[in-house]
Amino acid sequence: MNAFYKFYCRVFQKTMKLVSPLLPWREPQLLAPEGGAEGLGAMIKGKYRKVLVVTGPNVFKKGLADGLLRGFDSAGVKYELFNRVVNNPTIDNIEEAFTVYRNGECDAIVALGGGSPMDLAKVVGARAARPEKKVKQMKGLLKIRKRIPDLYAIPTTAGSGSETTLAAVVSDSETHEKYAINDVSLIPRYAILDPKMTVGLPPQTTATTGIDALTHAVEAYIGGSNTKLTRTRAEQAVKLIFDNLKKAYDDGADIEARTNMQKASYYAGVAFTRAYVGYVHALAHALGGFYGTPHGLANAVLLPVVLEYYGKSAAKPLARLADIVGVGAGDDEETKAAKFVAKIREMNAEMGIPTAIEGIKPDDIPLMADRAFKEACPLYPVPEILDRPQLEELYRMIAG
């Protein structure tokens, strides 16, 4: 990569950091209805004509939507149900849900689930606000610029942080491209953190979604677009995850650990929605687009590999995180940073997270690296700007 392009990327990132405070940032209003999600119906009774409830088939089959819908029925809240969200929602999946929203004459949305239902719900809201725009036309930054219908986010995992963010990730099933739509209007208006929703998560899902939250916090923290708030929120998230993730993995009914992991996911979401992410996410999105690799799993495998690859460029902030979690006391910055990364590897191993992604085809690596490069550059304020050959090398390092 030539020096001019690197210079351009850094100028772009600094400009974005200067302009960012002018945007209408906000956090979701945290609601605490009596009885958790089941109490939402009583809270919004009479407020909307009809609500679209968005969730996935697994969440629905497990009965996690039962309380919410029971509360709606009891309060007389009319709703349409869309429970066919696919992992890594596609444009077709989004359009199918938007048709239900439009034909049902809905005017609000409730998203129940992990990152996929929330991403789909956000884009349905964007289509409702800007019906003249196709999903592909919303790709990138600030392509909506109009208030979407009220969106209530109820996470059933502790990882994506989607209940706090301005981003929605979309998969194009024709091109196998996975890209983000970013606009402050996509930040959900309300969020409900109900730890009971996460009690039934399988241990492996608990593990990968938890490391997904850790990835959000760490990538935000080591980037160059932090504010005082994002640094604080990232530090809080990292500490909570190191203290609680293994507990939630070992005992899914540990309500205190589940509560703390939901807080961690929320804090990490607040951090990265302002400070952005980095190459872990860019590489993971391409894996999801090509192979349907679950996002949390891809992030979990990539996180220690990418952090180690950064070397000295990320040592200072990683050393600060090492201090926060009690690793490497008395060591120099580089040693602390290395011990922090080693601790992530250790945590992954304890929870059965693999060190490689099976099924990566060597012939796919150049195109995946190109897409990861285009996602990251010039937007992501990473510690070190990597070129396509370096991203290809990172893919080869995690290829099973």
* Cβ(181)–Cβ(139) below 8 Å: yes
The tens digit of pLDDT for each residue in 196-238 reads: 999 989 999 999 999 999 999 999 999 999 999 999 999 999 9
Examine the pLDDT at 322 and tell me if it is beyond 80.
Answer: yes
- Three state DSSP letters for the chain: CCHHHHHHHHHHHHHHHHHHHHCCCCCCEEECCCCHHHHHHHHHCCCCCCEEEECCHHHHHCCCCHHHHHHHHHHCCCEEEECCCCCCCEHHHHHHHHHHHHHCCCCEEEEEECHHHHHHHHHHHHHHHCCCCCHHHHCEECCCCCCCCEEEEEECCCCCCCCCCCEEEEEECCCCEEEEEECHHHCCCEEECCHHHHCCCCHHHHHHHHHHHHHHHHHHHHCCCCCHHHHHHHHHHHHHHHHHHHHHHHCCCCHHHHHHHHHHHHHHHHHHHHHCCCHHHHHHHHHHHHHCCCHHHHHHHHHHHHHHHHHHHHHHHHHHHHHHHCCCCCCCHHHHHHHHHHHHHHHHHHCCCCCCECCCCHHHHHHHHHHHHHHHCCCCCCCCCCCHHHHHHHHHHHEC
The tens digit of pLDDT for each residue in 260-287 reads: 999 999 999 999 999 999 999 999 999 9
**Section 327-351 average pLDDT:** 97
Q: What percent of the chain has pLDDT over 70?
A: 100
Q: Which domains does the chain have, with CATH numbers?
A: 3-17+201-398 (1.20.1090.10), 32-198 (3.40.50.1970)
Examine the pLDDT at 57 and tell me if it is beyond 90.
Answer: yes
- Supply φ then ψ for residue 202, to 5 degrees: -60, 150
**Section 161-189 average pLDDT:** 93
Bridge-based pairing state of the strands 167-172 and 177-182 = antiparallel
Cα–Cα distance measured from residue 122 to residue 397, given in angstroms and rounded to the nearest whole number: 34
- pLDDT for 177 equals 87
**Cα 43 to Cα 73, 299, 378, distances in angstroms:** 13, 36, 43
- pLDDT for 124 equals 98
**Section 73-93 average pLDDT:** 96
Residue 12 in tokens = 């772009």
Residue 231 CB coordination number (10 Å)? 16
Examine the pLDDT at 1 and tell me if it is beyond 90.
Answer: no
The tens digit of pLDDT for each residue in 293-310 reads: 999 999 999 999 999 999
Bridge-based pairing state of the strands 140-141 and 177-182 = parallel
Residue 47 in tokens = 């407020």
Cα–Cα distance measured from residue 234 to residue 229, given in angstroms and rounded to the nearest whole number: 9
* Cβ(111)–Cβ(60) below 8 Å: no
- pLDDT for 174 equals 87
- pLDDT tier at 173 (50, 70, 90 boundaries)? confident
Q: At what angle do helices 203-222 and 228-250 cross, to 10 degrees?
A: 160
- pLDDT for 175 equals 86
Cα–Cα distance measured from residue 220 to residue 195, given in angstroms and rounded to the nearest whole number: 25
Examine the pLDDT at 358 and tell me if it is beyond 80.
Answer: yes
* Cβ(330)–Cβ(228) below 8 Å: no
Examine the pLDDT at 400 and tell me if it is beyond 80.
Answer: no
- pLDDT for 301 equals 98
Residue 256 in tokens = 């205190």
Cα–Cα distance measured from residue 217 to residue 275, given in angstroms and rounded to the nearest whole number: 10
Examine the pLDDT at 391 and tell me if it is beyond 90.
Answer: yes
User: What mean pLDDT, rounded, does the chain reach?
Assistant: 96
